[in-house]
Structure 1
């Protein structure tokens, strides 16, 4: 046991980034509530970074902060702030000002724009092995395969969650959530013999059930990223 009461260690986390393109608190609150209601299990109480690059010091930051919090999201930091007056408001609110990585490495939840989602992309961890699950995955279960692929040879119920730093294979009905490339591997893929998922995600890019193309819903499918966009094709 260490003789010191605390330890400081470096780590990395996958966080959604909310880019604000409107300064009206009620518009922000409603837009975010709409996003959260589409995937409550995925977004409710989720920690987020708020990017304010499009805002300036003329806004009421306190009301904006309250609007984001009332949507059910939890603000852990602010990024993209270039306006000194706004920086002062944010510092007074007690939130840290953060610096994002390369522009290419982040996607965003955009207010009043069509593309819904995104994450700050961490360092990709090499995939070295496979985790195999032979039993059904029940509602409420969460299975994580760190630094490896995940193979499930049974059904996955609604409300269950599969997470892998590598690929995910489901040889059964997939009703829950599947998040491949969780550590940022944009080459990760999802293979499924019966795709009826609540949510599918690769390296932070995701589709909700109603965004899965109808031609592939309930079918054998393979999902991967084409550039920065999720794509799907038949699983041959």
Structure 2
């Protein structure tokens, strides 16, 4: 039997992707679930963002998912202010210049962007719908993850990101998991949905106890 466990959560807004912080913030430990020792988040969603976040006590998953040769797709539902034009969609799809850490300009890689109807499964949040300000929902799928990349992309295109919800990583989907909900996934199924084939070595017991923060 594997010593590791794998979970997805629907991270609510205004919660950081950590169990420990020196700041007065909402933490993952506030979720109503008894996670095994050494559990931490794989990757990050910023405090204001919502949706799919992977938790595990297998620290090797980070390398397989984000540092492997094959990039993994991540899909987001994004609500932005005002109406997005076809010209702007094409700009987002083909690459747009954003400012990254260190102050350098960076042209984003091509990605998938389309206008969608408001996702019906998402609860409506305060000030989301205002009659005086139109808005657009986008579905964005990309394989890179610069710091605050999607927020910076839509800002560079002249729109403000009002809401950002990650809905899937490869075939691992958030589905109907409610905000704050937790779902455990069996190990083989976890790696199959993430389309990671070389996972068995990562599932072997690790010599280093615990798992440092990601």
Give the TM interval when normalised to the shorter protein. under 0.3
Rg (Cα) greater in structure? 1
Q: Taking structure 2 as the reference length, what is the TM-score of the superposition?
A: 0.23
